[in-house]
Amino acid sequence: MDTKNMEFLQKQTTYLGFGESLHEKIKEQLRAGLPKFDLTHTGNFNDKETAYTLHFAKGNNSDYYFLNSYDAKMGDHQINVSVKSINVENGKGQKLNPNITAKESFNILDGRSVYKSRVNKENEPYKAWFSLDRDAKNAAGFTELKMIHDNYGFDLGKELANVKGQDFQLALPEKDAVAALKKGNLIEMYNADRSEKYFIAADPYYKTMMVLDMEGKRQYVRNTAQVEKELQRSVPEKQEAKTDVKTEAKQKAEPEKKSLKRKSSIKM
């Protein structure tokens, strides 16, 4: 048994969010020396159970084992997540692990989107939001993932500011909130006296934020593009002053100046 190979796989599965529960099983399977093997794991997030199956196999030209992918299943949907053993350059001199973690795969199955720096089959890096395509399944029966790339036009920071406005504040510092939203997590948002509280998540497909009330009911949200259009329509057109011909006094009517107030993005 290759001890370095074992330690690498144990560290990799821990980083992916499967904890140390698989460490001893990995050791046993490497000792057995089979060409490939699968390990199962059960996760519980937000009181919802997710079943995982991890797929390990020897390399094509060596006896070194790799974790190639894992399946994540919750309810009627099951996704297959490929795993890479390399890091990705993020453009700022930092190396990022491109893999979707166990918690992130749960977030996808739970209906939210996750932003990752990934690599394709040619090991070329790209960034995209991943979400569940509920109506699409492949030949193996797995639900497909939708990918929304940066050029689609979703601006997380801009939409977060739009939905938060002046009336609400986040439960986390904004930098931490953005990082959590990219992982597909729900973030709390509330007003000054905390009489109103909502949960928010990124919704890149509709270029807005998902907003849920305390009962989990989704609230209608206008994105920044819709708000800007409404503001433009609300600007009064200049009207010519009318003259009353029946009176001797001629009065000039000036257009009334209206202040444009920011419309709330959340329909209360």
Q: Which of 122, 116, 248, 263 is nearest to 184 (CA)?
A: 116
Predicted confidence at residue 14, as pLDDT, reads 94
Predicted confidence at residue 201, as pLDDT, reads 97
Determine contact, residues 111/45, Cβ cutoff 8 Å.
no
Tell me how far apart the alpha carbons of residues 41 and 84 are, in angstroms, rounded to a whole number: 19
Determine contact, residues 211/190, Cβ cutoff 8 Å.
no
Predicted confidence at residue 225, as pLDDT, reads 82
Predicted confidence at residue 222, as pLDDT, reads 78
Predicted confidence at residue 251, as pLDDT, reads 46
For the chain, 268 residues long, the average pLDDT of each consecutive 10-residue run is: 92 93 96 96 94 96 93 97 73 71 97 90 85 94 95 94 90 96 96 91 95 90 79 60 43 41 40
- Contacts of 262 by beta carbon, 8 Å cutoff, 6+ apart: 165, 166, 227
Predicted confidence at residue 258, as pLDDT, reads 39
Long-range contacts of 226-234 (CB under 8 A, 24+ apart): 227/162, 227/262, 227/263, 227/265, 230/263, 231/260, 231/263, 234/258, 234/260
Tell me how far apart the alpha carbons of residues 238 and 142 are, in angstroms, rounded to a whole number: 58
Dihedral-angle region of residue 81 (phi above 0 means left; psi in -120 to 50 means alpha; beta otherwise)? beta
Tell me how far apart the alpha carbons of residues 167 and 159 are, in angstroms, rounded to a whole number: 15
Tell me how far apart the alpha carbons of residues 197 and 190 are, in angstroms, rounded to a whole number: 4
Overall pTM surpassing 0.75 (yes/no)? yes
Predicted confidence at residue 211, as pLDDT, reads 95
Q: Which of 68, 26, 20, 17 is nearest to 45 (CA)?
A: 17
Other CB atoms within a 10 A radius of the CB of residue 7 amount to 13
Tell me how far apart the alpha carbons of residues 84 and 109 are, in angstroms, rounded to a whole number: 21
State whether residue 104 is helix, strand or coil: helix
Owner of token pair 């259009």:
229
Owner of token pair 């209906």:
111
Q: Within a 13 Å sphere around the CA of 223, how many CA atoms are in the beta-carbon half?
A: 17
Rounded to 5°, angle at Cα 174 from 194 and 268? 40
Predicted confidence at residue 241, as pLDDT, reads 41
Predicted confidence at residue 89, as pLDDT, reads 56
Q: 217: which DSSP letter? A: P
The alpha carbon of 220 is separated from its chain's Cα centroid by a whole number of angstroms, namely: 19
